[in-house]
Chains A and B, each alone.
Chain A
Amino acid sequence: MTAKEGQQIVFVIDDDELVRDSVADLLRSVGLGAQVFGSAQEFLQTKLPDAPACIVLDVRLPGASGLEFQRTLANSNIKLPVIFITGHGDISMSVKAIKSGAKDFLTKPVREQELLDAVHACIEEDRAQRQQARLIAELQERFNSLTAREREVLPFVVTGRLNKQIAGQLKLSEMTVKVHRGQIMRKMRASSLVDLVRMADMLGIPPGKP
């Protein structure tokens, strides 16, 4: 039942064994990995593989309701997209679900194409989210390799100031600033100033003030 490492995977959480197995079967038949859980508790106790994934969740879970479960997920820092499936969805319930972050809200019996489209969209979203997270982690690593002085110079560089201006501001020689700038570009692996500005933006570094 466990998915192979690196494969896209769908976590199916439904207390009805017949339903969750049939959903998993369907997902596997289109080449997706699927992992089934009988309850929210069971899911939270499992170590999740690092792969693009999403959750298909039955609202009428025993113990915690689906909406409650969604809140627990957010608190435990699991950012997986959730697709709700319900036997009898009403408007107020679907509004609540969507407001608390559900990506989709489907009613049983679910049309195959509808479910597959929703699952694909969610996995794509998760994949993009994961990529973004990975990129930020790497940039952070590069930023950490800068010296204290270089970190001091960086905000002024990305605001577009000339070396002379930065030297004046930080009471350094223009030559020293030029060396720091070269080091920053190299360590951050920035191909241009524009590239460096984008990286600083992603890292949330505030521009230096005169």
Chain B
Amino acid sequence: MHYDFSVLRSEKGTDNDLHALQMKQIGLFLRRLAGAPWLLGGIGLVVVTVVGYRLGANVGIASCAYLIVVALLSLMGSFIATLAFSMAAALCLSYFFAPPISNLWIENASDAALLIVFLTAAIIIATVTAAATKWKQSLQTALDEKQQAQARLAAIVSSSDAAIVGKTLDGVVTSWNAGAESTFGYKAHEMIGQSITRIIPAELQKEEEEILRRIRQGDRIKNYQTVRNCKDGRRIDISLTISPVLDQSGNVVGASKIARDITAEKRAEAALQQIQVELARVARVSTVGELTAAIAHELNQPLAGVVNSGNACLRWLSSEPPDISAARKSGERVIAAGERAAEVIKRVRALVEKAPPQREQFNINDAISEVLALIPGEIQRNSISLRTKFANDLPLLFADRIQLQQVILNLVLNAIEAMSGVQAPRDLLVASAKSDSDDGILVTVLDSGTGLDEKSLDRIFEPFFTTKAHGMGIGLAVSRTIIESHGGLLWARPNSPRGAVFAFSVPAAGEQMS
């Protein structure tokens, strides 16, 4: 039995190469020693025999001395050699020490017994030592494997691009890999032993408490998106996965955290959303624009008739003498033109009514959330702090979900636009509640923007009235039409200390449109 460390295959890497080389040298040395048991056993046997014989030692003392040699041999690892020398020692005992001397014959029964005891003891020693050696060796192999596996894991962690950070339950950093260094800019020696709050933006410090609270409960937090500070002051978007670290008895002793820099992804996502919003807006405006042009032409014709014939009528009446019959004809033309204009309006209305509202049951809070999910780009670009306050006990609405979402989007975009110019905190609150009057719901959009003066408040829902530089003055008029077609109300009032409040209420059951 001997150790053969050379079977350990070296991992890549200079440290591991050096380690393997040392192991190889030790292995060679031990292998050289492997031939030694026979030589050393022989020498030991001869020395004990010669010395014992000269001193005239009895069988008991000699057998004890032989046992020591056997024990030492067995420790050197060769089971066969140990057994062979045990037999040789027994023969020596019988020949040199047990009377009659110089003869293998044993005279005394007690000496024979001693010899048997010696052999038995020698075999036991050899066997036990061999077993112990084997056990020790397998233990060593297992330990090596474990170390290797750990080394491999450590290599994976240290070479990972993702930031992998270990921390205690108090948020003190215990490990900080190369990925973390490159992601956050802090070196390991700058962070280990420090609080993780160092990389958390001031306004998000509460977040860490919540994370640690959940980790203490043994929860795992997966793909949590948030913002962290870098050493150079940059803010980066990251996706966090945090797992509790357990000790052997299953207690949570720390947390391991994997962070991925998703700033670029976020940026692409925001750009995409920006384009979508822009597209939706362009589509809306161009449809309205085309429709307006067509209606304008259709109305312009009879209006031209009204104006021309009206003017003619006045002239016929004011000529000297008045030409009553011509004036009457002109008046009739005015009426005909007016009727045609009314006909145009009727046709347009019929066109619009061809698309009846698609009513369905839904939760208004979900509908609002969907709308807000459309515009994170707008929110971020205009540095707006958005809050929502949803009542939980709201009845389900039976209404046209898309139409109501159009109204909400309209109100929210208006609010953002109204705040984009102000140099004060830009707070946007979207809230849902039960409406006071009936069993319906109330949606409120509050902003801290430029607000509305008394005059505008009166006219803001009129078609083609606008306070914006490039507005069409259609959004709020359409919004009010939609809400009223649902049997609800849409109104506005000033917010305090500044800004505006737009609110609408809709009955839960939804009135059927005629």
B94 CB–A CB distance under 8 Å:
no
Contacts of A25 in B (CB 8 A): 308-309, 312, 326, 329-330, 333
A88 x B302 contact (CB < 8 A): no
- Minimal beta-carbon separation of A36 from chain B (angstroms): 12
B336 x A26 contact (CB < 8 A): no
A182 CB–B CB distance under 8 Å:
no
Q: How many residues of B contact A (CB 8 A)?
A: 26
B337 CB–A CB distance under 8 Å:
yes
Q: How many residues of A contact B (CB 8 A)?
A: 17
Selected from B307, B326, B333, the residue in CB contact (under 8 A) with A112 is B307
B297 CB–A CB distance under 8 Å:
yes
A110 x B326 contact (CB < 8 A): no
A23 x B301 contact (CB < 8 A): no
Selected from B293, B297, B301, B313, the residue in CB contact (under 8 A) with A18 is B301
- Provide the bound-state CA to CA distance between A28 and B337, in Å: 19
A22 x B300 contact (CB < 8 A): no
A22 x B304 contact (CB < 8 A): yes
Closest to A21 in B: B333
B316 CB–A CB distance under 8 Å:
yes
A28 x B297 contact (CB < 8 A): no
Closest to A116 in B: B311
* Residues 1 to 52 of chain A near chain B (Cβ within 8 Å): 16, 18-19, 21-23, 25-26, 28-30
A108 CB–B CB distance under 8 Å:
yes
A23 x B308 contact (CB < 8 A): yes
Given A22-B337, A88-B297, A112-B311, also A29-B304 (CB < 8 A): no
Closest to B297 in A: A87
Contacts of A16 in B (CB 8 A): 301
B308 x A112 contact (CB < 8 A): yes
B315 CB–A CB distance under 8 Å:
yes
B480 CB–A CB distance under 8 Å:
no
Contacts of B300 in A (CB 8 A): 87, 108-109
- Minimal beta-carbon separation of B300 from chain A (angstroms): 5
Closest to B337 in A: A18
Given A88-B293, A88-B296, also A19-B301 (CB < 8 A): yes
Contact with A along B152-193 (1 / 0, CB 8 A): 000000000000000000000000000000000000000000
Contacts of A109 in B (CB 8 A): 300, 303-304, 307-308
Closest to B327 in A: A29
Closest to A27 in B: B312
- Provide the bound-state CA to CA distance between A30 and B314, in Å: 11
- Provide the bound-state CA to CA distance between A22 and B313, in Å: 10
- Provide the bound-state CA to CA distance between A15 and B340, in Å: 16
Given A22-B337, A25-B333, also A108-B301 (CB < 8 A): yes
Contacts of A87 in B (CB 8 A): 296-297, 300-301
Selected from A28, A88, A110, the residue in CB contact (under 8 A) with B312 is A28
- Provide the bound-state CA to CA distance between A25 and B309, in Å: 7
Contacts of B297 in A (CB 8 A): 87-88
Selected from A30, A88, A110, the residue in CB contact (under 8 A) with B304 is A110
- Provide the bound-state CA to CA distance between A28 and B325, in Å: 13
Selected from A22, A30, A112, the residue in CB contact (under 8 A) with B305 is A22
Contacts of A26 in B (CB 8 A): 308-309, 311-312, 315
- Minimal beta-carbon separation of B330 from chain A (angstroms): 5
- Provide the bound-state CA to CA distance between A26 and B327, in Å: 10
Closest to B318 in A: A29
- Provide the bound-state CA to CA distance between A25 and B107, in Å: 164
- Provide the bound-state CA to CA distance between A88 and B326, in Å: 31
- Provide the bound-state CA to CA distance between A25 and B305, in Å: 10
Contacts of B304 in A (CB 8 A): 19, 22, 108-110
* Residues 247 to 300 of chain B near chain A (Cβ within 8 Å): 293, 296-297, 300
Contacts of B316 in A (CB 8 A): 29
Given A19-B304, A109-B303, also A29-B296 (CB < 8 A): no
9 example contacts (A-B, Cβ-Cβ < 8 A) are as follows A18-B336, A21-B305, A22-B304, A25-B333, A28-B326, A29-B330, A87-B297, A108-B300, A110-B304
Besides the known contacts A22-B333, A108-B301, 4 further A-B residue pairs in the complex with CB atoms under 8 A apart? A19-B301, A25-B308, A29-B326, A87-B300
